[in-house]
A and B are shown apart, each in its own frame.
Chain A
Amino acid sequence: MRYVLRRLGLFLVTLWAALTVNFIIPRVMPGNEAQAIIANFHGVNPAALHALEIEFGVNVHQDVIVSYFQYLANCFTGQFGLTAQRLPVLTDIVSKLPWTLGLVGVTTVLAFLAGTFVGIVSAWRRGGRLDGVLPPLLFIVSTFPVFFVGLLLIYVFAVTLNWLPLESNYSIGATPSLSPQFIGDVLAHAVLPGASLVIVTAGLWIYSMRNNMITTLAEDYVKMGRAKGLPSWRIMVDYAARNAILPNLTGFAMQLGYVLGGSILVEYVFSYPGLGYLFYTSTTDHDLPLMQALFLFYTLAVLICVLLADFATAALDPRTREA
C-alpha cells in the first residue's frame, strides 16, 4: 500500500512539474509570439482569452504567484483557451483523440505481447534458431528512427506495390459509419502507421524480457521447480516469466512516453489526423496554447499508464505490497 501511495506522490509531482513547465516557458523564453497570438483573439471569447492571458503572462497586471494559481485552477477545470482556429483547445483535442488512442493503444499492446512472448521463448530455448535470429535483428531495427521505418513502408507498400493507402485515416469522400466497408477502409489506412510503431518497439520488449528471463532462469527457485519435476511450461510461465516480467511492467509505462513521441512522427509521416499530427500543425502554426495543452495531455497519458503499471506490479509482486 505504501508503495502505491509513494507512486501516487510521484504522479502528482510530475503533473505539477509539467504544468509548471508550461507556465514558466512562455515567461522566460525569448520572443513575443504569445503577445501576437493573443492579439489574434480579441473580441472572440472573453473567458477563454483571459485563461490564455494568464497562461502566457500577457496583459496581466497582477502578481505572478496569483496568476500561477489561477492558471493551475484553469487547467484543472479544463480551460485551456483557444486554438489558432478559435476553437476551444479541449474540443480540438477530444475530436482527434480516438485516432491516436486506437493507433497507439493497439500497437503498444501488440508489441508488448509479441515482444514479451518472443523474449520468453528465446530465453527458454537459448541459442536456438529463434534466439539466434529475432532478438539481435529486432534489437537493431528498434534503434531505427520510426519515421524511417514509416517512409520505407510507404515506399514499398503504398508507392511501389500500391497495396495500401499512402496517408490519412480514411479515404477521401468516405462517410464515417459502422458499415463493413468503412471499417475496412479505416483498418487499411491504419496498417502501415501501426506496423511502423510495432516494428520499432517490439525489439525493445524482446531484448529486456529475454535478458530478465536469463537472469531469472538462473535462480534457485527455478532449479527447485525443475527438481520437483514440474512440467517445463509451468516453470517457464509461472516461475521464470512471472518474475522476469516485473521490470518490464515498469518499463511499459516509461516506454509509452517513447511510443507517444514516436506516434507524433508516424502521424506526421502518414498525415494521420490524430493528436500527433495536431501537435505537428500546432508547431508550424505557432499555435502555442494548443501545443502546450497537448504536452500536458501527453504527460497525463503517460502518468496514468505509469500508475496502472504500478498497480499491476503491486498485484503481481507481493514484496511491493508489504514494503
Chain B
Amino acid sequence: MNLDPVTLALVQNRLDHISHQMGWVMTRTARSPIFSQSHDFSCFIADARGTLISQADGIPIHTGGGGFAVRAILRDFKDAIAPEDVFLLNDPYTAGGNHLPDWVITRPVFVGAKLVAFACNRAHQADIGGGAAGTYNSAATEIFHEGIRLPVLKLIEAGKVRDDLWRLLMLNTRLPEALDGDLRAMIGSTRIGAERLALLVEELGVDRADEFFEGVLDHADRRFQTCIDRLEQGVWKGEEPVDNDCFEPIDAKIAVTITVKDRRLVVDFTGTSPQVRGFKNSSIANSTSAVFMSLASFFEPDLPKNEGAFRSVEIRLPEGTLVNARMPAPMTMNTVFVAHEIIHAMWKALAQALPERASAGWSKAVHAVTAGLRDDGGRYVMYQWAGAPAGGGVEGRDGFHLIGHLITLGGLTLPNLETYEQLYPARFHRQELRCDTAGAGRFRGGAGCDYEVEIFTPADYAFRGEGAGAPSSFGVAGGRAGAGGEVVLTLSDGTRIQAPKYGVERHGPGTYRALSPGGGGYGDPKTRDPERVLRDVRDGIVSAECAEKNYAVAIAADGKSINKKRTNQLREETPWSTVAPSSSAP
C-alpha cells in the first residue's frame, strides 16, 4: 500500500478529533452528572467491519472494547443496516456489552450506498431498573436482578425513532427524565460524528478511505510492536487475590500468564477462579478492555487507543471464570472490580518483563453511597467519593494521595466538601491524609485518607468496601504494600457499626468514617532519598519511627533534620526491616 504520509497523519488526527468532538457534545448536552462530572463514557469510531479505529476520549476502562458491540450489530443485522438507522445495546452476554449500565449507541455512516464506518458512544446510565436504584445492586446473584437487558436493537429506523421501543425503555427506569435526556445527548453526538466521518470519507474518496483507516491501524500496530520489543522475551505470571464474593469471604484469584515471543503477546487467564455468586464477574468486552488498559498505561500515554494497537496481542479468557462468566452471572461491578484485579495481575506480570516501567498497585475504594430524605421530603443520593483510595509509586514519582479508582487512572474529579454541605443534610469533620499508610518504597505509594462526615437523617448506606481489611495495593521492585482500609459508622446513640464489604443497611443519623487504604511503593525504601523521607516526616505522612524502620533514615531530635551519622549506620548495617505500615486510624 502506498499512502501519502502527510494525508495519513491528517487522517489520524482528524479521526481522534471527531471522537473528541462527540465527547464535547456529550458533556455539553447530557442531563445526568455521571456524564458531565464523572466522564463515565467513551466515544469511538469503528470501520465498516467493526474494527475500532479511534477512541480519543473517555474513561480508560472502556479502552478498545467498543468493537465487540459493533461486531454484534453486524452479526445480527447484516444487510439490514441502512442510512439513518441508530442501534442500541447493552447486554454483555449476547450483544458485545461490557456491563448492563453502559449503553452503546451506534450510528452507521454511509457515503452513497456504501457503509463506511460507525460513530458510537458508550455511557453509564443513571438508572436502568433492577434491584437497586442507581444501577449497582450488590445483592444481585443473577443478571436479571441488575436491570433491563437489551440485545442489539434498532432504536431509530431510517431516521424515525421507534416510539414503542422508546416507551419500553422509559418504563424500565426509575429516572425516565435523565435517561431520556442522556439518550438524546448520545444520539445527537453520534449524528455529529457521523456527519464529520462522511465528509472525511468523501474527501479521501469512498474507495480509498479504507486504505487510510487500515494505515491508521497499521501505524498503531507498529507503535505497539516497538513497545513489545522493550519487554524481555519469556513467560511471565501475575496473580491478584479476590477475597470475597460480595456476600462472604472466599479464596479466589485472577491469574494471568503473559508470553512474550516473536513480537507478539499471548495473555492467558487460565488458572483464574471460577465465576462467583456476586456481581463482580467480568464479560469478554470488559476483560479485554482491562487488558488493553493495563498495556496502554504500562507504556506511553500517547499510544493510539485503536484495535490496531493490540493486533499483536492475543487474549485467552477461559469460560466460566471471573474474567468470562457464563450466563446468568451478575456483573455490574466488573468495570471497577474485577477490572482492578485484572490490571493488578497484568501489571505484576509486566513488571517482570520490564522492571523500570513497573507500577506499584493502587489501593481499592471503600466508599459508600448514602441515600435518604431531606427535611423537605426530597430524596438525596450522596456519593462518599471524597474518601478516595490512593495510587501506587512508579520510577520517578510517588503515588498519588487519595485519587480515586485505578480504572479511571485518576480521571474522576472529587467534590468540594463545601459544595456537598450545601447539597446534602451533612456536616464534614475531616478529609486528611493518614500517617504511615503509604506503602514504603524508593518512590512511596500515596497516602490514604481519614474521611468523616456526620449525616443528619436516617439513610440507606450501600457499602462498597473492597479496600477494607487487608492491604489492597501491592509493592513492586522491593517496595511495600500500603495500609488497609476500614469503614465505621457511629450512630448518634454511640453504637459503633463495622461496615460490611458489600451490602445495603439502613441506619439512623450518625457519623460515617472511611479510612481509605494506601497505595503501594516502588523500589527498595532504603534507597529513597533521605531528604524526601525527612520531608515526609515533617509533613506527617511518615512517622519518625517508620522512617527509621522502613527507610533506614534517622530523624534528629528537632524533627527537622536528618541524623546523618545514624542514617549512614542504618543504611549500611541494618537489614531490611519487615515492619508493615499500620492499618489502624492515626
Partners in one complex: no
Chain B interface (Cβ < 8 Å from any Cβ of A) = none
Chain A interface (Cβ < 8 Å from any Cβ of B) = none
